[in-house]
Structure 1
Amino acid sequence: MSEKDDSKRNGNGRNGQPRRKALDLRLALNALSDVVQNRPPPIREFDQIYMKVGDMVVYAEYLCRKLDGRSLVFVGDGDAIGLSIAHLMNEGILDYGPSRIILLDFDERMVNSVNRFAQGNDFADRMEARLYNVADEIDPPLLESFEAFHINPPWGQYNDGKSVISFLRRGAQLLTDDGLGVVAIADDETKKWPGQVLRMTQKAAIDLGMAVVEMQPHMHTYHLEDAPELASCAMIFRKVEKFELKNEPLTTEEKKDFYGRDQHLEARFVREIAHIGRGMADPRDYKIESEVLE
């Protein structure tokens, strides 16, 4: 697709990006509160650390601008950014964004919560979620079939960025020619390891036929109790060269320290246990003490 065609697809705004109407912050925050309420609790051992809601609003709008009109696949999405985008578009709060969204995630709780929400809000035709573990090969019909991918993987502090690169390779396998890939990754100049992982990620992207076209530093913050100041950046890559990748499972070495020191990638899926009163307090978390009447 030519630059002219690409600009036409993305609207008539500056730099080929869609013209933006003023974002109604109240409506946007209320819409994302629906998404957050729907999101299952994070499992820390799998490095599920959720983004703060204000940053989710800003990031969802950013991705809608950058990926307007493109088919988009999320390889993992504990933050539910994909669902946030779909909901904001469905509610008319954003009138631009991806043409369709698919989530691939190993957490059945997340997959089911996304599909239930999409069906309940009548946009299941534009977003769906499927069970998938990044350790496995990709279903062949999905290969090179998306115009954009997004990853926010485990940040690779203890495995020299191998966890990031594993997700990056899966994204590259899913990407069409001239497609875009967005990577959210740790960004902190006060620590040495984020810079090292950033460098390795950019090098791996080049080796996979992609080039960095944009970077937004310190774009996201998280509910991270042991490092609340740690932020992440957003890097956008464009596929500039076709690169043949073998569609095969991760090796044992690639799974080591995947989620942190001595936390290897061993689980295949997180399965959902059905319970009554979804979205309500778990009765195991509290007890009621009655007043004693004399």
Structure 2
Amino acid sequence: MEFDLRKAINAISDVVQNRPAPIREFDQIYMKVADMVIQAEYVARVFDNKDIVFVGDGDGIALSAAHLKAQNVINYGPRSITLLDFDERIVNSVRRFGEKLQPKIEISAHLYNVAEALPPEHFGAYDGFHINPPWGASNDGESVIAFFERGSQATKEKSLGIVVIADDPDLLWTQEVLRDTQRRALELGYVVSELLPQLHLYHLDDAPDLRSCSCLFRRIDPSCMQITSEPLESARLENFYGKSSPLRFRYVRERPTLNTERESDQLYILEKLEVENG
């Protein structure tokens, strides 16, 4: 991993400036800048010349990997990036920033909530996926597994998946979620190809030392692929964002101000999710 660190940090700072303010109630907790550099370079290297999908990306790792490549900080990276996110502020900020990166890399962003079935146009369309979901401390990792399933559904037979989740050997719940995620991955035909433990820190006031790992999964058994995508059952929505914090809203809708070049002061409107399966 050889590149100009100053150029890399400056490139990532452009992405950070573009991000909307996080909504803590939805577990939007942003990664620190130095660790964004590390993760973005890793994503660019693993997914070099591939078409990939990010199922959620408040941190801005998708844009970071693309921007590092577009700014010639690195000479590798994804061929195309698609973002699926339930926050319209994030979707719009990625679209605006992505326009500046054309034609060096193709970036698109679409509104999508993991509680709903994956739209057909995204099913099996990509070479790899990246997720950094709610870490599942209060729902036995169910939120992580839901995001993993959507990423799996969106990718082809021979695909890779990068999963970023909490990793602290002294916190049992983080190790149990990591175990259960790997168990579900095996059921879906994946094996762990690489694990980078305790890699990232976050702007998290109540747990400033809590780190996450980056786990790379490789699909080896296409016969385990899910052939359909269904809405999440209502029981899986409970405690999705933490204790007594279920998944109740379909979208965060943007309410823009006059300051369109900087997203941190955006207001928002919450659009409720209609659960049809009880």
On whether the aligned pair clears a TM of 0.5, the verdict is: yes
RMSD of aligned residue pairs (Cα, Å): 1.7
Aligned to 2:276: none
Are 2:17 and 2:263, in contact at CA under 8 Å, matched by a contact in 1?
no
Change (3 A) 1:255 1:280: closer
Shift of 1:282: 5.0
Aligned length: 264
Residues 175-214 of structure 1: pairs in structure 2 closer than 5 A:
175-214=155-194
Aligned to 2:132: 152
Q: What is the CA–CA distance in structure 2 between the aligned matches of 1:218 and 1:282, rounded to whole Å?
A: 32
Are 1:135 and 1:249, in contact at CA under 8 Å, matched by a contact in 2?
yes
Change (3 A) 1:273 1:239: same
The one-letter amino acid paired with 2:108 is E
Q: What TM-score do you get using the length of structure 1 for normalisation? A: 0.87
Residues 44-193 of structure 1: pairs in structure 2 closer than 5 A:
44-123=24-103, 126-193=106-173
Q: What is the CA–CA distance in structure 2 between the aligned matches of 1:256 and 1:283, rounded to whole Å?
A: 28
Post-superposition CA distance 1:186-211 (Å, at most 9, x none): 00011110011010000000011111
Post-superposition CA distance 1:255-277 (Å, at most 9, x none): 00000000000100000002112
The one of 258, 266, 283 aligned to 2:248: 266
Q: What is the CA–CA distance in structure 2 between the aligned matches of 1:201 and 1:80, rounded to whole Å?
A: 23
Specify every segment of 5 or more residues in structure 1 that has no aligned partner in the other structure, as ranges: 1-19, 285-294
The one-letter amino acid paired with 1:92 is N
Are 2:193 and 2:218, in contact at CA under 8 Å, matched by a contact in 1?
yes
Shift of 1:156: 0.3
Change (3 A) 1:239 1:273: same
Greater relative CO (CA pairs within 8 A, separation 6+) = 2
Q: What TM-score do you get using the length of structure 2 for normalisation? A: 0.91
Q: What is the CA–CA distance in structure 1 between the aligned matches of 2:117 and 2:67, rounded to whole Å?
A: 30
Percent of aligned positions that are identical: 50
The one of 246, 252, 257 aligned to 2:234: 252
Q: What is the CA–CA distance in structure 2 between the aligned matches of 1:124 and 1:80, rounded to whole Å?
A: 18
**Quick check: which has more Rg, 1 or 2?**
1
1:226 matched to 2:226? The reply is no
Q: What is the CA–CA distance in structure 1 between the aligned matches of 2:61 and 2:263, rounded to whole Å?
A: 22
Specify every segment of 5 or more residues in structure 2 that has no aligned partner in the other structure, as ranges: 268-278
Of 82-91 and 44-53, deviating more is: 82-91
Provide the secondary structure at the position in 2 that maps to 1:268: strand
